[in-house]
Chain A
Amino acid sequence: MSNEKATAAARQPKPSISFDPQYIGRITGVLLAICLVVALLLGVVNQITKPRIDAIEAEKVRLAMAQVLPAEEYVPVEASLPKTVVSLSQARSGGQSIGWVAETTATGSQGPITMMVGIDPSGKITGVSIVSHSETPNIGTKVVADQSVLDRFTGMSHEDGEITVNSGTNRFDGVSGATVSSRGVAAGVNAALDAVADLIVKEG
């Protein structure tokens, strides 16, 4: 308790700012030293956890690929991709191309939604899987965490125009109350279809 009183008293009579170089050097030095120690510790922890985190991420992406379009191997496509397409790979089985998987990102209601979209050679969607999202529990998750909703995309293509939510010729039935999340997922699926369509045109 005496300690507490002493510091409380020391706090009171120091209203003016001191420009004494020695004093400034001291507070800067202490702050710098604390920052250095913390940074060093963080570096060590990062060294330990980075391989594991990367492995978990890679596994998630692989699982999502296998879910939307099962294939023996996925070969990344070398092409300049629009900003919304994170990666585009060709799915191959027995040396034959059986379609593409595109990882795309779109804006949901709370942040970016990253999804994997499988597309067969005729341009039809074989499956959609969410890789990561930050949608509101019990609202946005009615779209992004419900596979039966995501499966409504299966079989759709751009033949009838761009996919629109709850309207238009190429209609995706969203979840009421989660319109923004539904639109987000539809935007990501559209980006994937566009990217693959571009690829098909280029390859003739």
Chain B
Amino acid sequence: MNVGKQLKEGLLTQNPVLIQLLGMCSTLAITTTISNGIGMGVSVTIILTLSNIFISLLRKIIPEQVRIACYIVVIAGFVTMVDLLLQAFFPDIAESLGVFIPLIVVNCIILARAESFASKNKPVAAAVDGICQGIGYTLVLLVMSAIRELLGSGALAGNQIFPAEYSASLIAQPVGGFLTLGCLIALMQWAQRKVKGGK
């Protein structure tokens, strides 16, 4: 087990959004403001870490043939718990994220990490993997929501930087999500090639 390598994979070489292209739906939909991006990123990180730990603990008990059903039950359980806790203690975040919290159940990142990592590794490694992949996801959300909030509504984390009348509201709309994500993925590809070419 190698924490540094796992962190590098989560952030860069195996970034869940920019390289594995997982969890696109939530990435496109909720990155309109920074607070949404952070709320979603932290929620996914917590759920991913918890489900990774539990699935890793149960990896020898869960029968091969019903493993996906077992993973989904565990993931849905944690998502519902986080949803209820958010509604009770952070009602503002719960309201602005709305239906995208329950939809974390079908976020491919969590199922993909359960299937490809947690079911084959020890709980500690699985927990580290969950945290690293979660940070990678959160960072991408943060960058995307910062770009979209600034260009789309002229604000940054709720503070008006320039008047909203001069903003390109297109960027805050779904179209802008696709454009921003496309640019980020292209940038990542370019950076990766550049690093490889340098060696």
Contact = CB atoms under 8 A, between A and B. Distances in A.
A132 B74 CA distance: 30
B166 interface: no
Interface string B54-89: 000010011111100110011011001100110111
Nearest to A60: B91
B84 A46 contact: yes
A132 B98 CA distance: 10
A152 to B, nearest CB: 21
Contacts of B98: 134
Nearest to B33: A137
Given A138-B152, A138-B153, A34 B88 contact: no
Contacts of B70: 30-31, 34
Contact of B88 (A3, A27, A38, A52): A52
B120 A49 contact: no
Contacts of B33: 137
A34 B73 contact: yes
Given A26-B63, A30-B66, A49 B172 contact: no
Given A52-B89, A138-B172, A42 B66 contact: no
A78 B135 CA distance: 53
Chain B contact residues, majority secondary structure: helix
Name the residue in A7, A10, A34 with the highest tally of chain B Cβ atoms < 10 Å from its Cβ.
Answer: A34
Given A11-B64, A27-B65, A31-B69, A138 B74 contact: no
Nearest to B86: A49
Nearest to A136: B173
A30 B99 CA distance: 30
Contacts of A30: 61-63, 66, 70
A4 B152 contact: no
A115 B122 CA distance: 50
Interface residues of A, number: 29
Given A31-B73, A34-B74, A42-B77, A53 B64 contact: no
Contacts of A137: 32-33, 172
Contacts of B87: 49, 53, 56
Contacts of A39: 77
Contacts of B76: 38
B169 interface: yes
Given A3-B120, A30-B63, A34-B58, A49 B88 contact: yes
Interface of B: 32-33, 58, 61-66, 69-70, 73-74, 76-77, 80-81, 84-85, 87-89, 91, 95, 98-99, 119-121, 152-153, 169, 172-173
Interface of A: 3-4, 7, 10-11, 14, 26-27, 30-31, 34-35, 38-39, 41-42, 45-46, 48-49, 52-53, 56, 132, 134, 136-139
Given A38-B74, A53-B88, A56-B87, 12 more contacts: A11-B64, A30-B62, A38-B76, A48-B88, A49-B85, A52-B88, A53-B87, A56-B88, A56-B91, A134-B98, A138-B32, A138-B172
